[in-house]
Amino acid sequence: MKKTAQAFSVAIIGALTLGGAAEFARAECYVQAPLRPVHRSYIRRDVVEPGVYEIERRPGVYGWTSQAVGQPGGVIWHEEPSVYRTVQVRVRQRGGSVWREQCLNGQAGVCRVHVPPTYVTAEKRILVKRGRRWAERVPGSVGYVERRVLLSPYKNYAHFQRPYIAYSREHLTIQPEGSRWVPASAKPDC
């Protein structure tokens, strides 16, 4: 039984080999190969010095001017007070009649008594000189006023210094990862 099994397996292998040889004659074979490299050119831009703004300021220019200003005339009022003097005067007080209580024959009674006029010395304030008020006219005048005026305002000047940029060209060959299947030129030997 052993020998028949061995013989059968040798026959199958032989049949496969003979049939396989016939298949290899018309089969296409492929093998794994690396992917094709990629060739690229890159332009590289390097900023050596960045652009800079420089700002310069020109100050404003001022000047002086004198301007004539007319001042209108005016009126000045002067006043002189009145002058008074105190003097002593003799004033007459008039006489008349006065009622007085008196005893008449043991009884109370009222009598009318005649009083003669009298003279009294008194102080009196008298006007010596009357006060007065008068206007003085002042003529108009011209004065000069100096003032500062702006002739030209300040100004900012911006200067742009352009950046310095260096360009360089690089040629690169890039090998991608992975593989591809390519037709085999030779017959398989496995």
pLDDT digit of tens for each residue in the chain (190 aa)?
Answer: 455 445 444 444 444 444 444 455 566 778 888 899 999 998 999 999 998 888 899 999 999 999 888 888 889 999 999 999 999 988 888 888 888 887 777 777 777 888 888 888 989 999 999 999 999 998 888 888 999 999 999 999 998 989 999 999 999 898 989 888 888 776 655 5
Distances (CA, A) of 117 to 58, 95, 122, 123: 104, 4, 16, 19
pLDDT number for residue 8: 46
Chain-centroid distance of CA 140 in Å reads: 46
* DSSP category for residue 173: E
User: Rounded distance, CA 22 to CA 15, Å?
Assistant: 11
Q: Which domain holds residue 87?
A: 79-138
Q: Is residue 103 part of a domain?
A: yes
Total number of domains in the chain: 1
Q: Is residue 147 part of a domain?
A: no
User: Rounded distance, CA 142 to CA 140, Å?
Assistant: 7
Q: Is residue 166 part of a domain?
A: no
Extract the tokens encoding 80.
Answer: 């002189």
Residue 75 near residue 137, CB atoms below 8 Å: yes
CA-based end-to-end distance of the chain:
32
Q: Is residue 134 part of a domain?
A: yes
pLDDT number for residue 87: 92
